[in-house]
Amino acid sequence: MNQDQTMDRDVKTFQDLAVIFRRRKREIFLPAVCFFALAAVVAFSLPKIYKSTTTILIEEQDVPREYVLSNIASFADQRLQSINQRLMSSTRLMDLITRFRLYADLKDKVSADEIVAKMRKAVKFNTISADVVDPRTGRPAQATIAFTVSYEGRNPETVQRVASELASLYLEENLRSREKQSSGTAKFMEDEMEVLKARLAALDAMMSTYKKRNLTSLPEFAQFNQQALDQVDRDISRMDDQLRTLLERQGYLEEQLVSVPRDLSLQGKESLKELRLRLIELKTRYSDEYPDVVKTKAAIREVEQQLKKGGGGASGDRPDNPVYTTLASQLAGNKSEIDSIQRQISGLRKKSENYRNRMEASPKVEEGYKGLLVERGSLQAKYDDLNRKTMDAKVAQGLEKEQLSERFSILDAARLPEKPDSPNIPAILLIGLVLGMGSGVGLAAVRESVDDTVRSPEDLGRIAGDLPVLASVPVITTTVDEAVRKGRTLKFAFFVMDLDVLWDKVKRRLSV
């Protein structure tokens, strides 16, 4: 006979299960009752914990964003996390613990850090999100529209007061942080404007000095310099023409002056000598009445009279010939004009050189001036943009002060809890019952699997193999067994229900 064969039993019908249940009911019900009793003890012995919750709504700003844009760049989730970290700090929680006299029974038993940690665990913070359209990008996104703040404790009134105080702290911290951030932004913008204003003033002074130092070479004077240079060149050309004319006149006057004697008496004597020689020559050929002879005699008399009037010669070095004097004065005036023209040409050439130097320096000066202008224009653009942003920041700051921007408002205030939030007695009892039944069924299955008792002809047939089972003896119930069974049946029927009724119900359930 094989040991494996003795342990191989088939459970095929609900009838087999019912038989096993009747046989192992003690193994099934005893762990179930024990676990259920233990769960009941645990459920009713745990301290009652009450919970109060405040729901806070995140409201959008009242003024449309098209008109006034808030200068708070962070999202609501980020601000909430920041506020939550500040409020959950040891200092803030210790203040609440002291104010509401929380965990008074633990002060002499544990440290302050442990009490703060317990308080931190008792505070619950949860966000409520929804699908919205991001006003900055225009795309759908998940956004926090509300959040809840809860507190758990043993005293319902204290729990409500602490939950209300936590909600107030969230509202106050949000207003304070938003106003601080807004005013900080406006102050930063104003400081940056002052810095840019000082830089603009310094650059303006630099440009003024640069213009004074290079006034005549600035780009706006380029056309004037070119026109002035052209005019100077024309004046030089005109003066050169005048100079050539005067030099030619000077040569002509010098030639004339050389051929004219300085003294008039020498000229008269020479003329008188020539006239007498001519008269002698005429007399040799003509009579005294001849017109040429008469004319020559008259000329001789006139020259003699002039010589008599002149005193017979010039006095000193001063020429007495009016023609010579006239030519000499004209030559002196011509030389004076030549000197004046030469001085004017020299001045004009210096002017021309000056204008040429200005024009040559103009590109470099223009490049430097353009660099200053570009830098000045860039700074001015930054200043104008910063000025606009500063005005927007001030308007946004006013929006925060008037509490017209995004804000927190209490949607559902903390209520006095009427029932404890924990422990959940029905859930604990149900878990205990399920665990008890499971452990009972498991224990019964283990006991049944290791039990090799022969209880039916079929079991005996499996063990005997090819040997047939000739007969089976039914269970013999003694008087004592019957009395015990009846006693148990009466007790169960008295306290619960009749066993026949229970068996009929079980069979109906199993058949279903």
User: What is the reported pLDDT for 54?
Assistant: 92
Domain shared by 432 and 344, yes or no: no
User: What is the reported pLDDT for 272?
Assistant: 65
Question: Is 429 a member of any domain?
Answer: yes
Domain shared by 335 and 441, yes or no: no
289 in helix, strand or coil?
coil
Domain shared by 231 and 288, yes or no: yes
DSSP designation for 468: P
Number of domains comprising the chain: 2
- To 5 degrees, how large is the angle CA 190–CA 192–CA 195? 115
Question: Is 301 a member of any domain?
Answer: yes
Dump the DSSP string for 33-72. Answer: HHHHHHHHHHHHHSPPBEEEEEEEEEEPPSS-TTT---S-
The boundaries of the domain holding residue 440 are 3-46+423-474
Domain shared by 379 and 433, yes or no: no
- The tokens for 247 are 């030099």
Question: Is 377 a member of any domain?
Answer: yes
Measured distance CA(121)–CA(104) in Å, rounded: 17
Q: Which CATH number characterizes residue 263's domain? A: 1.10.287
Select from 495, 443, 446 the least CA-distant residue to 31: 443
**The whole model's pTM is what?**
0.50
Domain shared by 332 and 437, yes or no: no
User: What is the reported pLDDT for 151?
Assistant: 93
User: What is the reported pLDDT for 5?
Assistant: 43
Question: Is 363 a member of any domain?
Answer: yes
Question: Is 341 a member of any domain?
Answer: yes
Domain shared by 339 and 256, yes or no: yes
Interhelix angle for 156-213 vs 76-87, to 10°? Answer: 120
3-state class percentages of the chain: helix first, strand second, coil last, to nearest 5: 70, 10, 20
- To 5 degrees, how large is the angle CA 11–CA 16–CA 19? 135
- Tokens 């009134």 belong to which residue? 157
Question: Is 146 a member of any domain?
Answer: no
User: What is the reported pLDDT for 360?
Assistant: 75
- Residue stretches of the chain with pLDDT short of 70: 1-17, 19-21, 23, 61-76, 132-138, 141, 215-216, 259-273, 303, 306-324, 393-406, 448, 450-467, 469-473, 475-512
Question: Is 170 a member of any domain?
Answer: no
Domain shared by 318 and 266, yes or no: yes
User: What is the reported pLDDT for 164?
Assistant: 92
Gyration radius of the chain over CA positions: 67
DSSP designation for 453: -
Domain shared by 380 and 457, yes or no: no
Domain shared by 282 and 232, yes or no: yes
Cβ atoms of 316 and 257 within 8 Å: the answer is no
Domain shared by 451 and 339, yes or no: no
Domain shared by 246 and 337, yes or no: yes
Domain shared by 379 and 445, yes or no: no
Question: Is 190 a member of any domain?
Answer: no
